[in-house]
A and B are shown apart, each in its own frame.
Chain A
Amino acid sequence: MSARLTRIALAVRDPAAMAADLGAVFGMAFAPADEDCSKLRGPDGYDLAPLQANGAPLQALVFSVSAFEETAARLERAGAICTADRITDGRREMTWIGTALNVPVIIRDDP
Chain B
Amino acid sequence: MSSGRLDRIALIVDDLEAAMALAGAIFDMAFVVLHVDTMGLRVAIGESGLELVEKTGPDPIAVERIWRAPIASLEVRVDDIDAAIAAMKTAGYEVHHSLVTPGGVPKVQMGNAFHDLPTLLYAAPPGKTYVEAVTGRSATQSAFADYTPAIDWAGRQ
Seen from chain A, the residues whose Cβ lies within 8 Å of a Cβ on chain B are 1-5, 8, 10, 12-14, 17-18, 21-22, 24-28, 42-46, 56-58, 61, 63, 65, 71, 74-75, 78, 99-103
Task: Decide if B70 touches A100 in the complex (CB within 8 Å).
Answer: no
Asked if B105 CB lies within 8 Å of chain A CBs, one says no
8 new A-B contacts, CB < 8 A, other than A26-B78, A102-B19, A103-B70, are: A8-B9, A25-B91, A42-B6, A45-B6, A56-B69, A57-B116, A71-B27, A74-B26
List, sorted by A's number, 12 A–B pairs whose CB atoms are closer than 8 Å. A2-B28, A5-B49, A12-B116, A17-B115, A25-B4, A25-B91, A44-B7, A56-B69, A56-B70, A58-B71, A65-B27, A99-B19
Residues of B within 8 Å of A3, CB to CB, are 26-29
Residue A28 contacts which of B4, B19, B48 (CB distance < 8 angstroms)?
B4
Residues of B within 8 Å of A44, CB to CB, are 5-7
Q: How far, in angstroms, from A8 to B48 measured CA to CA in the complex?
A: 12
Residues of B within 8 Å of A58, CB to CB, are 9, 11, 70-71
Task: Decide if A28 touches B6 in the complex (CB within 8 Å).
Answer: yes
User: In chain A, what residue has the closest Cβ to B69?
Assistant: A56
Chain B nearest CB: distance from A5 CB in Å? 5
Q: How far, in angstroms, from A102 to B9 measured CA to CA in the complex?
A: 13
Task: Decide if A27 touches B11 in the complex (CB within 8 Å).
Answer: no
Which bracket fits the contact residues of B?
Answer: 35 or more
Given the interface pairs A12-B116, A63-B27, the reply to whether A26 lies near B7 with Cβ below 8 Å is no
Residues of B within 8 Å of A27, CB to CB, are 1-4
Given the interface pairs A3-B28, A21-B114, the reply to whether A102 lies near B70 with Cβ below 8 Å is yes
Q: How far, in angstroms, from A61 to B117 measured CA to CA in the complex?
A: 16
Task: Decide if A25 touches B69 in the complex (CB within 8 Å).
Answer: no
User: In chain B, what residue has the closest Cβ to A26?
Assistant: B4
Most buried by A among B1, B3, B26, B78: B26
Task: Decide if A26 touches B13 in the complex (CB within 8 Å).
Answer: no
Residue A102 contacts which of B12, B27, B74 (CB distance < 8 angstroms)?
B12
Task: Decide if B14 touches A102 in the complex (CB within 8 Å).
Answer: yes
Given the interface pairs A43-B5, A63-B27, A101-B23, the reply to whether A57 lies near B91 with Cβ below 8 Å is no
Residues of A within 8 Å of B21, CB to CB, are 100
User: In chain B, what residue has the closest Cβ to A63?
Assistant: B27
Question: Which residues of B from 4 to 37 have beta carbons under 8 Å from A?
Answer: 4-7, 9, 11-15, 18-19, 21-23, 25-29
